[in-house]
Amino acid sequence: MKKAFVIVILVLLILFGGIFGFKLYGNYMMHQALAHMPVPVVSVSASKVVEREWHPEVTAVGSFAAIQGVEVTPQLGGAITGIYFHSGEYVKAGTPLIQIDNSNQLAQLASDEAQRRLAQINLRRTQTLIATKAASQSQLDSAVASYQSAVAAVKNDHATLAKLAIRAPFSGYLGVRQVDLGQYIIPGTAMVDLQSWDPLFVNFTVPQSDFARIHVGTPVQVEVDSYPGQTFSGKITAMGAAINTATRQIDVQATVPNPKTILRPGMFGNVTVIEKRLEKVLTVPASAITYNTFGDFVYVVEKKTIHGKESQIALQRIVKTGIQRGSEVQILSGLRAGELVVTGGQIKLHEGSPVKIPASGKA
């Protein structure tokens, strides 16, 4: 019984050993065959590292503000008796907007006008009498004072009436009306927003490290999300008098023309301050950069002799990148002008992969 069991075990060992040995032999033969096969050449697109002249830039996030903007409010209280505008319309400076009840002030004006006329008559009479020495100097002085007081009362009435007839303080666009006819309002009640849209201010801050790079008159360009692809140009017109000690930033204000009035106060935009001087930089297409957490790199195409034949291979190169403008990325270190970098097809590459570049430069 034991002998038969041993025989079965030996047979199984020989059987499985043969199968395992055959598998090893097959893998060995396959490895040998692959070892003698040529490494496949990957078709890629490539571009040269280019030296360009760029204007240095300072970037920031800014907010548009009206050069003239105000919430129209009354100085005196009362019931609204007239509304002479429509929400959203353009008005010129001095245009009547709202009338507050002025009936009492008109009555007061009529009374004060009568007092002024009487004071004027008394003054003329006293001047005639004093010429004939029928009146004293003190009587003339009193008549003059009474007349001047009456004139001042009339002027005060006119000033009060002007405050009750609210007009546009400057030309601009009105917002949404916030009061109704017959409503009683008090001083400071918001009635309507008035803004001037052309030009606009752009307010932003820059760190003190960039302070020496900007000055009044420096050009700026602003991009807003509402109008992708459009750039609005202007220039710096004012700078803060001191650095903010809490943030170490300085306030900067630029003026941007808005002739089509498509921008609005309160919008935010990406501001680029463009220096006048030029500096030379190395650039590559953004598609050439492979970004990862371990460091950015590119594949550089170099010539190498393999088996006596000159070939092109792709080698990884760690690079340090700077700013990006459009489709170009600044290279601070890692590349030289004129070197060839892969711009398409990197996903098929590894260190030392043979590559070919079609005549068109595109894979």
Say if CB 281 and CB 225 are below 8 A apart. Answer: no
More confident residue, 27 or 41: 41
Say if CB 346 and CB 299 are below 8 A apart. Answer: yes
More confident residue, 188 or 40: 188
Within-domain flag for 1? no
- Report residue 163 as tokens: 């405050």
Within-domain flag for 24? no
DSSP 3-state assignment of 135?
Answer: coil
Q: What is the pLDDT of residue 194?
A: 92
List Cα–Cα distances, 217 to 72, 107, 257, in angstroms: 33, 56, 14
Q: Furthest-apart CA pair in the chain: how many Å?
A: 169
Residues 209 and 251 reside in one and the same domain = yes
Residues 49 and 62 reside in one and the same domain = no
The listed range with the strongest mean pLDDT (23-27, 93-97, 214-218, 329-333) is 93-97
Residue 28 has pLDDT above 80, yes or no: no
DSSP of 181-247, one letter per residue? TT-EE-TT---EEEE--SSEEEEEEEEGGGGGG--TT-EEEEE-TTSTT--EEEEEEEE-SS--TTT
Within-domain flag for 17? no
Residues 151 and 252 reside in one and the same domain = no
CATH of residue 324: 2.40.420.20
Average pLDDT, whole number, for the chain?
Answer: 83
Strand partners, 298: 317
Q: What is the pLDDT of residue 6?
A: 61
Average pLDDT over residues 340-350: 83
H-helix or E-strand spanning residue 140: helix 137-164
Q: What is the pLDDT of residue 34?
A: 43
Within-domain flag for 327? yes
Dist. CA 179–CA 71, nearest whole Å: 13
Q: What is the DSSP letter of 288?
A: G
Residues 81 and 181 reside in one and the same domain = yes
Residues 213 and 269 reside in one and the same domain = yes
Dist. CA 87–CA 100, nearest whole Å: 18
Residues 80 and 125 reside in one and the same domain = yes
Residue 106 has pLDDT above 80, yes or no: yes
Q: What is the tens place of the pLDDT at every residue in 205-258?
A: 888 888 888 888 888 889 898 888 888 989 999 988 888 888 888 899 999 998
Residue 30 has pLDDT above 50, yes or no: yes
Residues 78 and 179 reside in one and the same domain = yes
- Domain holding 83, by residue range, is 74-190
Q: What is the tens place of the pLDDT at every residue in 161-193?
A: 999 999 999 998 999 999 999 899 999 899 999
Average pLDDT over residues 309-325: 82
Residue at which a domain ends, from 221, 254, 277: 277
| Band of pLDDT at residue 5, cut at 50, 70 and 90 | low
Within-domain flag for 297? yes
Within-domain flag for 343? yes
Within-domain flag for 9? no
Average pLDDT over residues 149-170: 91
CATH of residue 149: 1.10.287.470
Q: What is the tens place of the pLDDT at every residue in 70-101?
A: 889 999 999 999 999 999 899 999 999 999 99
Say if CB 127 and CB 140 are below 8 A apart. Answer: yes
Average pLDDT over residues 302-325: 79
The listed range with the strongest mean pLDDT (46-60, 226-240, 313-327) is 226-240
Q: What is the pLDDT of residue 310?
A: 75
Residues 257 and 302 reside in one and the same domain = no
Average pLDDT over residues 260-278: 85
Residue at which a domain ends, from 157, 190, 223: 190
Q: What is the pLDDT of residue 156?
A: 92
Residue 265 has pLDDT above 60, yes or no: yes
Average pLDDT over residues 19-40: 58
Residue at which a domain ends, from 227, 245, 277: 277
For the chain, percent of residues with pLDDT exceeding 90: 19
Q: What is the pLDDT of residue 204?
A: 92
Ramachandran region, residue 345 (left: φ > 0; alpha: ψ -120 to 50; beta: rest): left
Q: What is the pLDDT of residue 158?
A: 92
Could you give the number of structural domains in the chain? 3
Within-domain flag for 37? no
Q: What is the pLDDT of residue 186?
A: 92
- Report residue 256 as tokens: 């941007």
CATH of residue 270: 2.40.30.170
Residue type, 32: Q
- Report residue 162 as tokens: 């002007």
Residues 85 and 147 reside in one and the same domain = yes
